[in-house]
Amino acid sequence: MTSPYDPSGPQVGIVMGSNSDWPVMRAAAETLDEFGITFEADVVSAHRMAAEMIDYGTQAHTRGLRVIIAGAGGAAHLPGMLASVTPLPVIGVPVPLKYLDGMDSLLSIVQMPAGVPVATVSVGGARNAGLLAVRTLAAGTDQQASHLRSKLIAFQSDLAAQAHAKGEALRSEAEHLDTYRSRGGHRP
């Protein structure tokens, strides 16, 4: 068993109902990797592995995990069931399936009873789940939290620079049309 204070152990658990969810959930893992956050990934089905799922949720904090990201499609019970047995924050990712485009999963995950909170991202939003886990870890007062906050500030700055570059490229393309006007209403 990993000590809750072992910095080499995983800090975030990424679990899903089936390995078929991995193509979506991989984005959460890649995001955590981008920020240097250790994680584990596994299949923990709420319906096919109920006892193991309960064990995973009840023991997660004793193994050093600080956040759980749970992805599920269809009935999507995994995030809520884990949230009901763990003291850790749980982030639910609705995984889109062939039918209903993940709306069933989204509605299942967000409709939790009082006292069983699950933070929920968009359908297929595993990257944002990873980023929310990073922000959760960055909310602390330790050295890792401070380091993550610095990385998040740089990340946000990069996002803004990308958006500005896209705007510049769009304006450059649009200004070749006769009726284009800049924001000030003038022809460039």
Residue closest to 136 by CA, chosen among 79, 90, 92:
90
Helix (H) or strand (E) run with residue 134 in it: helix 126-138
36: CATH? 3.40.50.1970
Residue 34 lies in a domain: yes
pLDDT tens, the chain, 188 aa long: 444 556 689 999 999 999 999 999 999 999 999 999 999 999 999 999 999 999 999 999 999 999 999 999 988 999 999 999 999 999 999 999 888 999 999 999 999 999 999 999 999 999 999 999 999 999 999 999 999 999 999 999 999 999 999 999 999 999 989 888 888 766 66
Show the tokens assigned to 19.
């390995």
- Binding residues, as ranges, are 18, 21, 48
Residues 43 and 125 in one domain: yes
Say if residues 63 and 88 touch (Cβ distance below 8 Å).
no
123 with 158, same domain: the answer is no
Residue 104 lies in a domain: yes
Does residue 5 form part of some domain?
no
The parent domain of residue 177 ranges over 141-188
pTM of the full predicted structure?
Answer: 0.90
Same domain, 134 and 146: no
Q: Which residues are annotated as a binding site for substrate?
A: 18, 21, 48
